[in-house]
Amino acid sequence: MIKYRLMFECIREGTVFGQGGSECHGLFFALLRESHPDYSQTLHEAKSNPYSLGTLHGEGRRIKGIYHLNVGSKYSFTISSLSDEMGEVIGSLQTLFHPAHQFRLGSADCRWLGMEKIAEAH
C-alpha cells in the first residue's frame, strides 16, 4: 500500500457537500480519465476498488452539512493504493500536480500545489 496526499489551494471560494468525499472521488476519476482513459473506465466498472480516498482537510468551515472553501486557503485529501498496479497509476499522476493546473471542486475553483507520498507498506 502506498498513501499519497494531494494538496491544493482555493482560488475562488465555493462549497462541497459533507466532507467533500464525492467531489474528491469525481476529481480523482477526472485525473485518471486525463492520463489513463482505458484504465479509468475499467476501474469505474470494477466490483471492488483497489484504492481508498480520505476526506477533505483544510482551513474551511462546515455549516449545516456544507463545507466552505476559502480563497487562499490550502486543502488536501489522501488516496491510498491497495494494489501494486493502482500504486503505479497513482504515482504516474504526479505530472498533473502543478500550480498552472486549475480545476473545480464542488463550486470552488482551485489550483494544485502538489502530491506527496506519505506512507508505504509492503
- Tell me the pLDDT tens digit for each residue of 36-68: 989 888 888 888 999 999 999 998 888 899 999
**So what's the pLDDT on residue 45?**
86
**So what's the pLDDT on residue 46?**
86
DSSP string, the chain: -EEEEEEEEEEE-EEEETTSHHHHHHHHHHHHHHH-HHHHHHHHH-SS-SEEEPPPEES-EEETTEEEE-TT-EEEEEEEESSHHHHHHHHHGGGG-STT-EEEETTEEEEEEEEEEEEE--
Question: What CATH number has the domain bearing residue 46?
Answer: 3.30.70.1890
What domain range includes position 68? Answer: 2-120
**So what's the pLDDT on residue 99?**
83
Domain count across the chain: 1
**So what's the pLDDT on residue 96?**
86
For the chain (length 122 residues), average pLDDT per consecutive 10? 95 94 93 91 88 92 92 97 93 87 96 94 77
